[in-house]
Structure 1
Amino acid sequence: MIIELGHFALILALVLACVQTVVPLVGASRNWPGAMAAGGPAANGQFLCLAFAFAALTYGFVTSDFSLRLVTANSHTDKPLIYKITGVWGNHEGSMLLWCVILALYAAMAAVFGGNLRPSLRARVIGVQGAISVAFLSFLVFTSNPFSRLATPPMNGQDLNPLLQDPGLAFHPPFLYLGYVGLSMAFSFAVAALIEGRVDAAWGRWVRPWTLAAWLFLTVGIALGSWWAYYELGWGGFWFWDPVENASFMPWLISAALLHSAIVVEKREALKSWTILLAILAFGFSLIGAFIVRSGVLTSVHAFANDPERGVYLLMITGLFMGGALTLYAARAAVLEAKGVFALASREAALVANNVLLAVSAFVVFVGTVWPLVAEMAFDRKLSVGAPFFDAAFTPFMVALAMLLPLGSLMPWKRARMDRVMAPLWGALALSVALGALVWVLQTGGSMLAPIGAVLAAWVGLGVVADLWQRAGKGRDLSAKLRRLKGLPRADWGKSVAHAGFGVTLFGICALTAWQVEDIRVADVGDTYDVAGYTIALDEVRGGRGPNYQTTMASIEVSRGDRTIATLQPEKRFYPVAQMPTTEAAIDNGILRDIYVVIGDPQEDGGWAVRTYIKPFANWIWAGCIIMALGGCLSLSDRRHRVAAGAARAPAAGVPAE
């Protein structure tokens, strides 16, 4: 009965989404207050219906209702409860239902917290968001029904993909979807502004918190996915330029550009056309990501589905919304005229350069991701674009971005003098170069990547310190400076923290790539060997059983001199129901290095394949992501960003109140 009610709630949500689309949009065009106000209740009702449908599907997974086709294909009675719950979104149909729930959640939030928006703009935003819901709910109901029943239920299920039975993957998709779908709000604001023919400073302030929230969730989701790939796949890497990894990375880059561009619209009423375009493209890349994950056109270990027919529907949805939005964008070009003017040396110019670097780097990732598909379709050639291409083509843009950040933060609006901008940065530059030289000397040869990474990370970090010191005021004593710093808006602190996190991640990536040590060998039980100053001893290999898997577990002692550092227990698991093996790496985590050990298959002539990695500063990568996310949280908590609090004041001037 609960399952049938969930299915009914899903269909009712589709009906309410149609109401949410048509009524407020018509009301806004005719200036009917009642019709414009109807969008809010429709959005709230749609969210409640979808939340109930999602809860009903979760109930089916938790109770192992194998009359549901989806539960049979993605669950098993022996599976731990947490993975029964995460099985809800560990598949195509369930993940699309989660996508629709989050779409409705954002529309409901716009309805509840958008009281300061102009009624016509609020109605159009909710209406456009409703149109997106109609498209995806139709896709879900007619092609991917999660409540489909089996005529003859089996005694047990086929289990969830073993790679997804991991805590990291339990939380990775929801955070990613909160980011992916969050960009639909920036898209809805852009389309609503184009329909209304009004893009001003107030619009820039309204769109920023939604973009910031999406960027924040994408940051956390990508970091969780990278962390999972690092310890679960057993390959020893944190990023593989996999098509699905790229599918989440491209919207992150574009949303970062949009976030900075919206600042210029808010402060200077410039870059209107570019900002609207970024808002459209950011959601467009999210839709492309959904297509890549579900169509099967590009092979990935992360893909939810391999169904070209469903991919066609997603491609049609992408074409409909992107084509329609870009057509409207072209038609409304006249209303996007910029008012603010600025010099080549100014904060506006620095933000333009920031945008160009982020947008072009996203385009590079896009080309590398889809080129194998284009080559096969157009030239009948099978190509593989891997890490060498991405590293060579993408890295220069991130280096340039890191060099620009401190300069852009210290530049004034409209016009800047470079001698004044550089005055507080000369010390930071000297210290950064000195640190890079020290790293180069200490590493006694080898790759220049680590010294360059040290210079850039220090430059970004010390640039943050210089920016905050400037904001504390000149000629003040230390206590007065600290009081002034304490009084800075949270958005300013959030920017500084996020930039510092970027520097930390940058150094972690460079240090790990330059200094990691890899050892692959066949070892017998009782063997010892040295790797980068550590002594590795294979003490034991034994079999065992888990809740729903069989395991081969090794016991490996790691020591340095006479001191035992850790006893690691890597595993090789086999899931009988799914008939699939997985590799469980054992890692001794540290601030300055990780010791990473993987046990492989037994060898025909005896012994075991053992892979050992020494990974310097690996955890700095995710620590930097956490710091960036913390910066996003600080900015989002700024009272000025709470759905543009107070932005509706002085609407005639089009300038938000401070």
Structure 2
Amino acid sequence: MIAEIGHFAVWMALLLAVLQAFLPLIGVRLQHGGWIASARPLAVMQWLLVTVGIITLGYAFYVNDFSIAYVSNHSNSALPWGYRLSAIWGGHEGSLLLWAWMLASWGAAVALLSRSVPDAISARVLAVMGMIGIGFMSFMLLTSNPFDRNLPWFPLDGGDLNPLLQDPGLIVHPPMLYMGYVGFSVAFAFAVAGLMAGRLDPAWARWARPWTTVAWSFLTVGIALGSWWAYYELGWGGWWFWDPVENASLMPWLSGTALIHSLAVTEKRNLFRAWTVLLAILTFSLSLLGTFLVRSGILTSVHAFANDPERGTFVLIFLALVAGGSLLLFALRAGQLRNTAGFQLLSRESMLLGNNLLLLTAAFVVLAGTLFPLIGDAFDLKISISAPYFNMFFIPLTLALMALVVLGVMSNWKSQRVERLRSRVLPLVPAAILGGVGAALLPGGTHWSGTLGLIAVAWVVIGHLDDLVRKALAFRSGLFKGLRRLGRSYYGMVFAHLGLAWMVAGIVLVSHHEIERDVRMMPGDQVSVGGYDFAFTQLEDGVGPNYDTVKATFEVTRNGKPVKVMHPEKRTYHVSGMVMTQVALRPSLLNDLYVALGEPLDRPDAWAVRIYYKPGVRWLWLGALMMALGGLLAVSDRRYRSRKNAESAEALA
């Protein structure tokens, strides 16, 4: 009965989404204040109803209600309760419910937190989000209903959650990723609402920018968590595999990064309005494309939900309607988006435009590398695109991006004097070269591409520190008082850019200085890797809550001093029979030690063992967290909480 309540609540939420999609728009057209005002309560009520739905599904997992098909397919009574709850989004149907809940949550947040936005504009924004809600909830309820019953016959116990997903990473990774994916619907809705109003100005960009930045921050954290989860869960020791589903999350992140910078130009200078709208449409369309790739059944990936291709057809049609409809509206309104202001070739606007072009080029590279093999399969052509293809493009694109990042920070809006920029840049160039080359002279040496990467890292760090000090001293109140007077949006930018540098430094270190050893070992054997001694001391059998395990013990020492006792495992899950590798880690800021059991060999106690020494690998995820923190810090700037621009914005209505 509880599940039926949730099922009914989601159907009612769909009905409210229909009202939210059309009633406020009719109200704007007829200038009916009551219908315009209905958008906010409809969005909040829709969120409450979808929340009831996801809570009831969670309750069904918690009490092992195997009469529900989705529960019986993705859970069993031996599954730990934490994984039972996270199994809500462990399969296709439940992940769609999570998506619908995230969309409703963003809509409710816009309704409650955008009081400075004129009612007519917020009505249009929420109406667009209602239309998106109609698409996803219809998709879920008509083709992928998580509340379907197995009646009259249902199993006494369920199947199993994919053992790959029985990990704490599953609890946090999908919600973070979906918050980013779905959050870009707000930027899309603001763009379409602006097109409906026939005008997009700095006030519009000021409203849309914080929502876009928050979504981007969530997606950044979600991608980083996915990388970290794959690193320690899959047993390969890699942090990025250029998997098609990984690429599906990277594409909207790249275009979303371009969108944030384009919104900054629109807000500051009332420029790039058409470009900004196109980026908003592209970013959300790429999010929907990622959904299609994951759910169409055309991909083979540990991340994909391989389902009936008809479901993928539904998403593809929805993507065509969203992208096609918004582009048609853009074409009709394009004549009203001409810029009246201008800028010189050497200016901050030019630098940001260059950054955007680099980011979109990178997104196109990923899109082509992801889709070409799929297109080849459709014509019975085997096209293999792997890491060398992506690296060939991403290394120069990243280096160029990091060069422009600093030049953009140092440049003025509208125009920049060549002599002044040269006087700032020239002293920093040799410092960056010395710093990068010095860092590259690590034991083992660094490839020339890694050396260039470290020079770029030093360039970004030194350039931002120089700019920070100059801007603080410009207040003429002393360095420390000046630092306190700088705005949060500026500090957010600095954090995000330094996070990029930190992440690139980690990529260089782990790519050029990691050590891998695949060895045959038995208890009593010892091997040295990266200056550490790994002694295999014990092998024992064990039993977990829903698996059997073989656990090894490695005592790690360095120069005779104990460092860590590590316990890699090989687990065999009872229900599915899948064998999974549980790696052992000794994490630290400087390096990771990584031990994984491979397969048993010629003797019962002889195993293939993989041991890694990974310097700087943690910097990857710390850099991503710094970028996300920078985004959230920028959003907390007081100008985004100010209502002083609300009156002047009424013209948009």
With the shorter chain as reference, the TM-score category is over 0.9
The residue correspondences of 1:28-43 to structure 2 (distance < 5 A) are 28-43=28-43
Measure the CA separation in 2 of the matches of 1:263 and 1:81.
Answer: 45
Measure the CA separation in 2 of the matches of 1:502 and 1:90.
Answer: 31
The residue correspondences of 1:119-518 to structure 2 (distance < 5 A) are 119-151=119-151, 152-377=153-378, 379-443=379-443, 445-474=445-474, 476=476, 480-518=478-516
Cα deviations across residues 292-319 of structure 1 (Å, max 9, x unaligned)? 1111112111113332111010111101
Measure the CA separation in 2 of the matches of 1:575 and 1:555.
Answer: 21
Measure the CA separation in 1 of the matches of 2:448 and 2:630.
Answer: 30
Further displaced range: 183-192 or 442-451: 442-451
Matched, 1:617 2:616: yes
Aligned AA (1:566): K
Measure the CA separation in 2 of the matches of 1:621 and 1:516.
Answer: 14
Aligned AA (2:521): A
Aligned AA (2:200): V
Cα deviations across residues 579-637 of structure 1 (Å, max 9, x unaligned)? 21111111111221111111111113562100111101111111111111111121111
Post-superposition offset of 1:653: 8.2
Structure 1 equivalent of residue 594 of structure 2: 596
Matched, 1:581 2:579: yes
Post-superposition offset of 1:426: 3.5
Measure the CA separation in 1 of the matches of 2:114 and 2:29.
Answer: 19
Further displaced range: 311-320 or 381-390: 381-390
Cα deviations across residues 54-105 of structure 1 (Å, max 9, x unaligned)? 1110100111111111110111111111101100011111110111111111
Structure 2 equivalent of residue 64 of structure 1: 64
Further displaced range: 389-398 or 10-19: 389-398
Contact 2:176 2:222 in 1 (8 A): yes
Further displaced range: 584-593 or 234-243: 584-593
Contact 2:475 2:482 in 1 (8 A): no
Matched, 1:9 2:17: no
Measure the CA separation in 1 of the matches of 2:574 and 2:185.
Answer: 41
Structure 1 equivalent of residue 555 of structure 2: 557
Aligned AA (2:565): T
Contact 1:365 1:394 in 2 (8 A): no
Gaps of 5+ in 1: none
Contact 1:90 1:304 in 2 (8 A): no
Measure the CA separation in 2 of the matches of 1:326 and 1:25.
Answer: 19
Contact 1:205 1:647 in 2 (8 A): no
Cα deviations across residues 326-354 of structure 1 (Å, max 9, x unaligned)? 11111111011112200010001011001
Matched, 1:93 2:93: yes
CA 1:653/1:424 → structure 2, altered by over 3 Å: closer, same or farther? farther
Structure 1 equivalent of residue 49 of structure 2: 49
Aligned AA (2:553): S
Measure the CA separation in 1 of the matches of 2:157 and 2:116.
Answer: 53
Further displaced range: 35-44 or 308-317: 35-44
Post-superposition offset of 1:114: 2.1
The residue correspondences of 1:80-119 to structure 2 (distance < 5 A) are 80-119=80-119
Measure the CA separation in 2 of the matches of 1:59 and 1:169.
Answer: 18
Contact 1:425 1:466 in 2 (8 A): no
Measure the CA separation in 2 of the matches of 1:652 and 1:343.
Answer: 32
Post-superposition offset of 1:475: 8.8
Cα deviations across residues 234-291 of structure 1 (Å, max 9, x unaligned)? 0001000111111111111111100000011111111111000000000000000111
Structure 2 equivalent of residue 635 of structure 1: 634
Secondary structure at the counterpart of residue 296 of structure 1: coil
Measure the CA separation in 1 of the matches of 2:315 and 2:473.
Answer: 53
Measure the CA separation in 1 of the matches of 2:437 and 2:459.
Answer: 13
How many residues align? The count is 650
Aligned AA (2:539): V
Measure the CA separation in 1 of the matches of 2:9 and 2:650.
Answer: 43
Post-superposition offset of 1:556: 1.2
Contact 1:453 1:511 in 2 (8 A): no
Contact 1:206 1:647 in 2 (8 A): no
CA 1:6/1:475 → structure 2, altered by over 3 Å: closer, same or farther? closer
Cα deviations across residues 359-416 of structure 1 (Å, max 9, x unaligned)? 1101110110111011122x42122211111111222111111111111011110000
Measure the CA separation in 1 of the matches of 2:46 and 2:260.
Answer: 29
Gaps of 5+ in 2: none
Secondary structure at the counterpart of residue 647 of structure 2: coil
Secondary structure at the counterpart of residue 472 of structure 1: helix
Measure the CA separation in 2 of the matches of 1:492 and 1:79.
Answer: 47
Secondary structure at the counterpart of residue 527 of structure 2: strand
TM, length-normalised to structure 2: 0.97
Aligned equivalent of 1:544, options 527, 539, 542: 542
Measure the CA separation in 2 of the matches of 1:422 and 1:637.
Answer: 34
CA 1:653/1:459 → structure 2, altered by over 3 Å: closer, same or farther? farther
Secondary structure at the counterpart of residue 453 of structure 1: helix
Aligned AA (1:380): D
Secondary structure at the counterpart of residue 262 of structure 2: helix
Contact 1:407 1:422 in 2 (8 A): no
Post-superposition offset of 1:233: 0.5
Post-superposition offset of 1:31: 1.9
Measure the CA separation in 2 of the matches of 1:136 and 1:511.
Answer: 42
Contact 1:24 1:37 in 2 (8 A): yes
Contact 1:639 1:645 in 2 (8 A): no
Aligned AA (1:646): K
CA 1:569/1:422 → structure 2, altered by over 3 Å: closer, same or farther? farther
Measure the CA separation in 1 of the matches of 2:257 and 2:269.
Answer: 19
Further displaced range: 53-62 or 628-637: 628-637
TM, length-normalised to structure 1: 0.96
Contact 1:212 1:636 in 2 (8 A): yes
Aligned AA (2:329): L
Post-superposition offset of 1:652: 7.0
Aligned AA (1:76): N
Secondary structure at the counterpart of residue 611 of structure 1: strand
Aligned AA (2:210): P
Among the aligned pairs, what percent are the same residue?
46
Post-superposition offset of 1:573: 0.8
Post-superposition offset of 1:484: 1.7
Measure the CA separation in 2 of the matches of 1:400 and 1:372.
Answer: 28
Post-superposition offset of 1:211: 0.4
